Structure 1
């Protein structure tokens, strides 16, 4: 079966922008990255999305979508259309050279225990604006079948991990707004779940105390000291004792847990919490991974990387150390999943989301005008 050229788009829970990746793949073992790029949101877009998250939490996914969320959906769609246009220009590629777009959209609500997950983004409109077929709504079929609907990159993680020189178990970690891990066993079986907060609490704390949306280079955390009492309390959260499959909404944890600490000590404590939550994931793994590959924005935070290396057994490396593109793994994953969706291959498995059987998914939106 030949390869497909797909363009993956990812806007994660960190609300920092749109990651885009062009990938040639057969949806299985063949992977050839072509081009990647990131397009940051402007402050006004980020503020609009934060409002949509708050409104969606009150809405709960029941009844008509609130106007604030619907407006954010239109904004997201047009922002992604502009990202596609810019991506094609940078790659010196025409729409006719792209077979499909994998459009994740923006998660504004994730309550799989209630059978609801909402990723805003108008796939039909994006297909019309770009002239390229679009696959979106990747998670709904999984949740409808009883799965968690997350994490959704593990099958791509397994394909990537085939390049690693080890026969031992491997953990692929993504630290976006939420942290998640994919455990790839010696037999290549998968176990994947959200581990706890990723960058979200650190980002929210930094924004509240410094008006900067991230703790750049971990400087705030490195100037502080971990409050072990607060950290110990944070780790008593019932989520950590739950056995996988399990997943999180961005708002399931709050930076308010560190209230009363100085800006520096709060940042240090929340950074340690993200790493300690990852270490707690070991409680659910059949054995300790030999290698932990850290992807996502969190790997750019030296304070967080230091905490991960201190708390995790085995070798902790960045995606770049593995020869991967750490900012782009999620976008590449949705390019890969779009191709799997076209070919009706599974997007999730019992070990990744708890779905009863391997499950395909996604909705195909055909472009209305010729490419």
Structure 2
């Protein structure tokens, strides 16, 4: 049993950009954030990322999934073993497929394996309960964003914009007392983010990403293509709503006739435009937008966001938070909420029918799974 009061938990995140695994410690009681602790990162080698990339879009039982899961579990176990023994681990796993209106959601990696290997309770499979209750299963960080807004003492509505493989936005009213209180939050996926940029760089230049947005900065945006992109019905759907990494498969074809710089500039503009359009769904204008995820390091993307948004836009470090580790910290925080029977999503964040606490808690003995 977990001791009462704040505990140290470690959360992990392996995002849709497939760059590696983040792990970060957080001291929390599942409601308040008291302190952030050490963190670590394991970049995937090509031998590790290969089986995972090959399994994208696959479902449990499909050929290749077991191999990908073994890599994911091994990398996580190695990374987590670097930490002093935590009281709880939040293991997100790797999203391979996400189809909440169809087959559900699939995060590869078995938390029971990690619980045994690390001899520590592990909370995992965070999304399935939400989907089973009619929710999108994503995004799940908003309850943590609510706690972050309290931690940084935000004085008015604020937006957390995460630009990972997919973009997602959380609007927070920090005057609310609980994240599942009416009007406290609204959250949804805004559109593609780093995934199409990284994929284009890999295809055109054999590189993993556009460092600092330098190539995009040398190009000219094809505004007609950006407008075509924004005509997609997803952007007009009211939230909550979510996306898979490959929900916009035609982007590369749309820019196929452009040279490298113009193609990157245009795709980067698409990402910025979809994020800016997301603000139209917020209940009230935010006092500012704090950007997290790898996209905040893309200077061209950040410049585009600043032009398109009618409020200050800044990397989340400006508020004293760690944009590299925020999602990992989120799953440490959510793990404590799950272990203590607190909710992790609600209608305003995922569209779930009622506020629900997702996740499976696996004890090291395997005797207590709930």
Say yes or no: TM over 0.5. Answer: yes
Which residue of structure 2 lines up, in the alignment, with residue 360 of structure 1? Answer: 357
Q: 5+ unaligned residues in a row in structure 2: which ranges? A: 177-183
CA shift, 1:115, in A, is 5.0
Query: Which among 132, 140, 143 is matched to residue 128 of structure 2?
Result: 140
CA shift, 1:67, in A, is 2.4
Within the alignment, does 1:67 sit opposite 2:63 as a pair? Answer: yes
Which residue of structure 2 lines up, in the alignment, with residue 281 of structure 1? Answer: 278
* Greater share of residues in helix: 1
Which residue of structure 2 lines up, in the alignment, with residue 202 of structure 1? Answer: 197
| Cα separation, 1, equivalents of 2:302 and 2:333 | 28
CA shift, 1:168, in A, is 2.3
| Cα separation, 1, equivalents of 2:78 and 2:67 | 17
Where 1:361 maps in the other structure, the secondary structure is coil
Work out whether residues 115 and 144 of structure 1, in 8 Å CA contact, stay in contact via their aligned partners in 2: no
1:266-316 residue CA offsets vs partner (Å, 9 max, x unmatched): 100111111100111122112221110001111111111111111111111
Within the alignment, does 1:20 sit opposite 2:8 as a pair? Answer: no
Where 2:358 maps in the other structure, the secondary structure is coil
Query: Which TM-score applies when normalising by structure 2?
Result: 0.93
Work out whether residues 36 and 328 of structure 1, in 8 Å CA contact, stay in contact via their aligned partners in 2: yes
Alignment of 1:1-371 (within 5 A): 1-54=4-57, 56=58, 61=59, 65-86=61-82, 88=83, 93=84, 95=85, 98-164=86-152, 166-185=154-173, 187-188=175-176, 189-254=184-249, 255-256=251-252, 257-368=254-365
Aligned length: 354
Tell me which stretches of 4 or more aligned residues in structure 1 moved more than 2 Å: 163-168, 185-188
| Cα separation, 1, equivalents of 2:175 and 2:100 | 29
RMSD: 1.3
CA shift, 1:44, in A, is 2.1
1:171-223 residue CA offsets vs partner (Å, 9 max, x unmatched): 00111000000001364310000000110010000110000011111111011
1:60-117 residue CA offsets vs partner (Å, 9 max, x unmatched): x4xx61120111011101110011123x1xxxx2x2xx11110000000100111500
Query: Which TM-score applies when normalising by structure 1?
Result: 0.93
Work out whether residues 216 and 301 of structure 1, in 8 Å CA contact, stay in contact via their aligned partners in 2: yes
| Cα separation, 1, equivalents of 2:104 and 2:365 | 30
| Cα separation, 1, equivalents of 2:30 and 2:154 | 23
Where 2:328 maps in the other structure, the secondary structure is helix
